[in-house]
Amino acid sequence: MGRTGCEEIIGPHGYGKWNKEGESLIDFCRRNDLFVGNTWFRKKTSRKITKYGWGDRRTKTVIDYVLIEREYRRELIDVTAMPEEAFGGDHRAVVFKMRVEALKWAKEVRERRIKVWKLREKERREEFTENIKYQVPEEVKENVEVERKRFKEAVLRTAEEVCGRTSGEKKVKKNTLVE
């Protein structure tokens, strides 16, 4: 199998010759920044073949591929065809292994917010009102903008003391795979 011009898409351990469909696959991978995972691992021929011919079973081809985004090339550990798994036809299952630690970036980190909804509770609302009285000056001593900034800081500080902040982590349903 020739790899000239597509070394970043096709690995050194492919099988057979490319036909028109193979050229279309390379073009598709190039347009979508993918690579063919099946071709990057040294395997016995029986672990590369994904389709056996009808009747004589001498025709052996690879027509099932694992396509992965190129940015995850280093996370791909193995790709193999399973000759013992035919699923009632002439195709073989293709299995791949990947490191999933690389996907931890998907965990969303959010801003830690003040739990203002807790002010609906009468005790917290009274505590907030009492504490804010001591932090806000009764008369304006400087220009209005400076006083507004001090007032805002006092309200935020008091609200945080009385209500607390969220953890900043996204809540994950128990039936998802994200850790």
Residues of the chain with pLDDT under 50: 1, 102-103, 173-179
CA atoms within 13 A of residue 126's CA, in its CB half-sphere: 3
Residue 34 confidence (pLDDT): 92
Residue 133 confidence (pLDDT): 83
Residue 174 confidence (pLDDT): 47
Residue 31 confidence (pLDDT): 92
| Angle, alpha carbons 141-139-131 (nearest 5°) | 115
Residue type, 126: E
Residue 127 confidence (pLDDT): 92
The phi and psi torsions of 7 (rounded to 5 degrees) equal -65, -25
Rounded Cα–Cα distance for residues 11 and 39 (Å): 5
Rounded Cα–Cα distance for residues 66 and 80 (Å): 10
Residue 175 confidence (pLDDT): 45
Residue 124 confidence (pLDDT): 92
CA 11 to chain centre: 25
Domain definitions of the chain by residue range: 20-106, 116-163
Rounded Cα–Cα distance for residues 151 and 173 (Å): 39
